[in-house]
Structure 1
Amino acid sequence: MKDIYEAINDLVCRNEDFVLATILEKSGSAPREQGTKMIIKRDLSIEGTIGGGIFEAMAIKLSADIFNNKKFIIRKFTLSNEGASSIGAACGGALKLLLEYINPDDKFMNSIYSQAFKLKSKGDNFVLITKLSEKENYVGGVDKWICTETGFYGKESDMAQKILGKVRENFKNIHFQNIREDNKVYLLEPVLNNESVYIMGAGHVSQKIAIITKILEFKTVVLDDREKFANRENFKTADEVKVIESFENILDYVKIDSGSYVIIVTRGHAYDKEVLAQVLKTDAKYIGMIGSKTKRDFVYKKLMDEGYTTEDIKRVHCPIGISIGAQTPEEIAISITAEMIKVRREV
């Protein structure tokens, strides 16, 4: 599934209008979290999801009016326990939704979402700010801004600078919220780096990699089949350390998507080929495998014999890392993470 900002960018580039649904509030057993978005197209097909079921159906139904009047609406939907039971859900819940018309002919709107896609692709943290005027009930591109820690995107105004000042006061701890200024509501949506790095193998090089990837704000997950190595004592900074039964079914333990970076450094390279074969079936943004050119060519031939294509093989960075003459575990870790930064910043 595409990232929602990639899907939005694709639509505006194709000059297609759509309705964007955003969960403002949730309670009970509503399936998706605050800030979750879904695109509703002219033909009422969707990209993304706000949880399926009756909430999604009601949002799609309301979008028909929004396509006609091009105004935004905010609606609260409640599903009682009895209603939930009738459709097989455990219990009821409620969602408060914002549904807004996105016009690709609006140059400011186009620019904002194009910039959001670029920032998200690079892994940059930013806050999307939307002015919701209760009087006008319309959101144009001039009503949206993007704030990063050091940058600003959108149409300049005194109010925009005032709101940006409030955001920057607590940028690293900003949360999804509404604020009110001069009888207008401003929706603040932090879009934070959700990139993950999966380190396959828990040896000495992996220990150094995990320290640096955490500094770079990657969610860092280490996997190995040896508890002696894969433990909190060795990986104090990692978000997760998983002791697995084997590397044969790695996708049973982790979900690798387009925001994932995979570093393959299994012990003695014993399981590198097995892990690589599985990871090539995912949308991983970065796949790096440690080893010499001789080892690389051997592994690639085996994979090609198994039906993998040249295009599959081109996705792999091997020998892993940027060539800096690295020798120590620390230097190798810097070489690898430097290559990851290069991939992160290429849009």
Structure 2
Amino acid sequence: MGGIFEWIDESLDKKENFVLATIMKKSGSAPREEGTKMIIKKDFSIDGTIGGGLMEAMTIKLSAKVFHTKKCAIKNFALANKDAELLGMVCGGSVSVLLEYVDCDDEPMIELYKKAVELKKSSIDFVLITKISEGQKKVTGLDKWICTETGFYGLENEEIQKVIKEIRENFNRIKIREMAIEKEKYLIEPFFNYETIYIIGAGHVAQKIADITKNLGFHVVVMDDRKEFANKERFNTADEVKVVPSFDNLADYVKINHNSYIIIVTRGHAYDKDALAQILRTDAKYIGMIGSRNKREYVYNSLLEEGFTYKDLERVYCPIGLHIYADTPEEIAVSIAAELIKVKRGPENEKG
């Protein structure tokens, strides 16, 4: 399955108009992060997801009005705890969704998204800029720009140069946000080729792993089903901390690809097995699982009974980390970090 820009490119090539939904802002716990996008077609089928459930259904319903008026819309969902449960959230919060009508005959729009696809394929970091306003008649290709560290694509004017200047001053630290320049508002969306660490489990070892891997330049995401463990107070260096209902269906909460490094450090054999079974179905660059050799045998045997092969299990680094006689959480984190560096910098397919 392709990424969002490939889906956009495909729809434009097919001359299919669509509505593009983007999560602009969120607070509290939600299945999808800010910047997540979904294509809604005229028949109300979708490519991608902004989290499923009631919120997604309401967004799809609202797209009918956007198709009719061709005006962009911003929908704010304010959720009580009971409502949040229907959306797959652990607790209440709010989500703001932008809906844009995308016209397949808009040549500047086509050129901009073609450039985005090209940059993604070339692994070049870029920022997508969209001029937005409540009730705007339409977002066209002339209301969008792409900025790299050295390049610029789109219709240049004095106002957008102010936006570009601010972005470039903090390029490597840009996060999705709204930016106000004079009377106009812009949605700023970074598309960076992060190498992401997903730490599944939020115990003491996970804390030390998050700290050291962030210092190594990874984008760090921590996941656990216990909000008393998975929170920004305990993981203040992590880029994202996610509270999930369970360790089932991890793909509903994270996007794992060939730039992903997975560290499984849950609190039990069964959780580790369930998480590992899901991760083995991805093309993650690194899969590590903490535990003794006895634990490894238990988990591996269970997975073999479920139909996984020895070749599948050869992808897993377990016991995790380089063998340096590590004992404390800090030492274990160092050994894991060293193994990550070896995988990242060493010859491809080298293991052991």
Q: TM-score, normalised by structure 2?
A: 0.59
Alpha carbons of structure 1 residues 135 and 94: separation in structure 2 relative to 1, 3 Å: closer
Q: Which residue of 1 aligns with 2:279?
A: 254
What SS does structure 2 have at the residue aligned with 1:156?
coil
Counterpart Cα distance in 1 of 2:274 and 2:55? 36
Q: Which residue of 2 aligns with 1:300?
A: none
Alpha carbons of structure 1 residues 137 and 251: separation in structure 2 relative to 1, 3 Å: same
- What letter matches 1:8 in structure 2? I
Alpha carbons of structure 1 residues 68 and 194: separation in structure 2 relative to 1, 3 Å: same
- Aligned partners of 1:85 and 1:91 also within 8 Å: yes
Q: Which residue of 2 aligns with 1:129?
A: 129
Map Cα deviations across residues 258-295 of structure 1 (whole Å, 9 max, x no partner): 7x5579xxxxxxxxxx6766899xxxxxxxxxxxxxxx
Q: Which residue of 1 aligns with 2:183?
A: 183
- What letter matches 1:252 in structure 2? A
How far the C-alpha of 1:21 sits from its partner, in A, is: 0.6
Counterpart Cα distance in 2 of 1:166 and 1:106? 28
Number of corresponding residues: 248
Counterpart Cα distance in 1 of 2:87 and 2:142? 42
- What letter matches 1:83 in structure 2? D
Map Cα deviations across residues 88-131 of structure 1 (whole Å, 9 max, x no partner): 86543321110011111101111111111221222221100001
Q: Which residue of 2 aligns with 1:192?
A: 192
Map Cα deviations across residues 116-150 of structure 1 (whole Å, 9 max, x no partner): 12212222211000011446342100110111111
Matches within 5 A, 1:30-45: 30-45=30-45
Counterpart Cα distance in 2 of 1:15 and 1:255? 37
- What letter matches 1:71 in structure 2? K
Alpha carbons of structure 1 residues 161 and 9: separation in structure 2 relative to 1, 3 Å: same
What SS does structure 2 have at the residue aligned with 1:78?
strand
Alpha carbons of structure 1 residues 90 and 261: separation in structure 2 relative to 1, 3 Å: closer
- Aligned partners of 1:250 and 1:275 also within 8 Å: no
**Identity across the alignment (%):** 46
Pairing 1:146–2:140 present: no
Q: Which residue of 2 aligns with 1:325?
A: none
Q: TM-score, normalised by structure 1?
A: 0.59
Counterpart Cα distance in 2 of 1:112 and 1:154? 7
Alpha carbons of structure 1 residues 334 and 28: separation in structure 2 relative to 1, 3 Å: closer
Unmatched segments (≥5 aa) in structure 2: 199-213, 221-259, 288-308, 316-341
Alpha carbons of structure 1 residues 80 and 110: separation in structure 2 relative to 1, 3 Å: same
Unmatched segments (≥5 aa) in structure 1: 199-213, 221-237, 264-273, 281-329, 338-347
Q: Which residue of 1 aligns with 2:170?
A: 170
Cα RMSD (Å):
4.1
- Aligned partners of 1:74 and 1:97 also within 8 Å: yes
